[in-house]
Amino acid sequence: MPAVMIGYARTSTTDQKAGLEAQLRDLQAAGCTKIFQEQLSSVANERPQLERALEFVREGDVLVVTKLDRLARSVADLVAITATLRNKGVELRILTMNLDTSTPTGKLMLNLLGSIAEFERELMLERQREGIARAKAEGKYKGRAPTARSQAAEALALKEAGKTPSEIQAMLGISRASYFRIIKEAA
C-alpha cells in the first residue's frame, strides 16, 4: 500500500495569502491527500493545526512541508517533532530541500541541519555574551531597565510621605499591580 501524504502549510500572518496559496499548490502537486493549514506566527506557543496533523498521521504516512521553517521554529522544536514522527512510524519530506527521512541520506541531512543550526545558535550566544562583557568593561552596558521591585524602597518612602498610589505610580513609572505588590510584600 503506498504511503499517504499529509501536508502542513503555515504562514506567519493572514496577510500572506500568496505564500499560503503557493504552499498549498506545492503540497497538492507533491501528492498530499489531506492538508492542514494555519496562518499564525511560529512564535506563538500553540500551532493547533500542526498538533492536529501530528495526531492525524499514522504509521507509514509521510508528513510533507514545503520548507523547514514552516514546520519548526527551533532546533529543539525540530527534534521534538521528528521524534514524534519517528515514534509513530511517519516519515518527513521537505520539498525545497528535496529531503526525505525515509532514506538514510535524508535522515543524515536532517540531523546535520539540526546540528549546524544548534552550532550557529551557540556561536551567536557566545558572541552576544562577549559583546555584553566588553560593553560592561567600557561602562557602556546599562543592562535591563529596573523592575518595579527595585524601586520598592522609594515607593514605600513616597507612601509614607503621604503620596497617593496614583501619584507614586506616575512618579516611578510603575503599574498599579506593581505598586500594590510592593505594598503587600512590605506588609
Question: So which residues are the catalytic ones?
Answer: 12
Amino acid at 65: V
If DSSP states are collapsed to H, E and C, what string results for 60-110? CCEEEECCHHHHCCCHHHHHHHHHHHHHHCCEEEEHHHCEECCCHHHHHHH
Q: How far is residue 85 from each of residues 53, 59, 62, 147, measured CA to CA in Å?
A: 10, 9, 9, 43
CA atoms within 13 A on the CB side of 54: 16
Torsion from C-alpha of 144, 77, 33, 10, nearest 10 degrees? 10
Question: Strands 91-94, 62-65: parallel, antiparallel or unpaired by DSSP?
Answer: parallel
**Degrees (nearest 5) of the Cα angle 12, 17, 23?**
80
